[in-house]
Amino acid sequence: MSNNTAKKPRLLVTTGDPNGIGPEIILKIFNNKSTIKGFELTAVGSKKVFDFYSKLLKLNAIPSEKIIEIPLPKNFDLKPGKIDKKAGKFSGDAVKTAIELCLRKEFDGLVTLPISKESFNLGGYNYPGHTEMLTEMASSGDTAMILYSEEFSVSPVTGHIPVSDVSKRLNQKLLFKKIIAVNNSLVKDFKVKNPKMAILSLNPHAGDGGLIGNEEQNIITPVIEEMNSIGFNLRGPFASDAFFANKSYKKFDITIAMYHDQGLIPFKMISFDSGVNFTAGLNIIRTSPDHGTAFDIAGLGVANPESSLQAVELAGKLAGS
């Protein structure tokens, strides 16, 4: 092996749900010559699954030596676009194997293609999603979800929980932890000195002085003031409607949202094809595209690989930094 090849980041790409667009996107990644040239890519999945979509969509097959084979459940049948217990187990097994290989330093980074959370849980994996599984298996501290693009980056304080639980879960301790995890990642992983962070309010109009909720007065503002007093660079809390309408996010390195959709709706509107999900605070590097399984177009050959290609690029960049 030449020195040039040896320096390439060794990246794993997991299949995601085999009934979704993950296998198609992996085939398109492996058919993208510039991506293949830049990284040592290995797919975690099943040759049978990849070959099924390769024939269906007339895409070049992935060589066997570029696949880490995950056993398919007994009597497994591919059903593009369908929720399926066996597909969910397979998707979880692929992620579990990939995490273990990265923890053993056999690979430098991990890109996970979308799973169906419903199938994943039916298959025996009791997590709301990838992030929670990664946190349990590959973290020794606090983690945070960072949605990254050149134009706009955001991190939600609360993740995959019902909106009705957001206010109950939000407290000063959690906010401190998330801001520290994000700040540390921006400094360490993204090489941003003294990150400037915008903090969104939870309630409309930033609570209107307590008329529309008191989380801003009791939780968010005290945390901002205390953290700024010890050297952090935080601004807010901003009412999210005006913040995004005025494109105020352009003045900051990252925006901290209080709940999932508050941050991810604008992120996907602004950066849908180029956005990447990065899990901060892990002992491994992990990225993923910012979309889901897209069951409605599975097997049709129309899935856009751009977000996944960006996820590969970012994982490779962080692995090499």
What does the pLDDT look like over 70-87, one tens digit per residue?
999 999 999 999 999 999
Q: How high is the pLDDT of residue 35? A: 78
**CATH class label, 151-273:** alpha beta
Q: Quote the pLDDT of residue 292.
A: 87
Report the predicted TM-score, pTM, of the whole model to 2 decimal places: 0.88
Question: Which element (helix H / strand E) includes 256?
Answer: strand 254-257
Burial of 31 (0-12, 13-18, 19+ CB in 10 A): middle
Report the C-alpha gap between 40 and 316 in whole angstroms.
9
Contacts of 65 (CB under 8 A, 6+ apart): none
> How would you list the strands of the sheet with 154-156, edge to edge?
67-69, 40-45, 10-14, 109-112, 286-289, 276-282, 139-148, 154-156, 254-257, 196-200, 233-238
**Mean pLDDT on 296-305:** 94
Q: Which of 22-31, 38-47, 102-111, 264-273 has the lowest mean pLDDT?
A: 264-273
Coil, helix or strand for 128? coil
Tell me what the mean pLDDT of segment 290-307 comes to: 92
The larger pLDDT score, comparing residue 127 to residue 94, is at 94
pLDDT band at 2 (very low <50, low <70, confident <90, very high): very low
Instruction: Give the Cα separation of 179 and 253 in Å (integer).
Output: 13
Element (H, E) at 143: strand 139-148
Kindly report, as residue ranges, where domains of CATH 3.40.718.10 are found in the chain: 1-141+281-321, 151-273
Give yes or no for a contact between 67 and 50, defined as CB atoms under 8 angstroms apart.
yes
Q: What is the pLDDT of residue 219?
A: 97
Report yes or no: 73 and 48 within 8 Å, Cβ to Cβ: no
Candidate CATH numbers 3.40.718.10, 3.90.76.10, 3.40.50.670, 3.40.50.620; the one for domain 1-141+281-321: 3.40.718.10
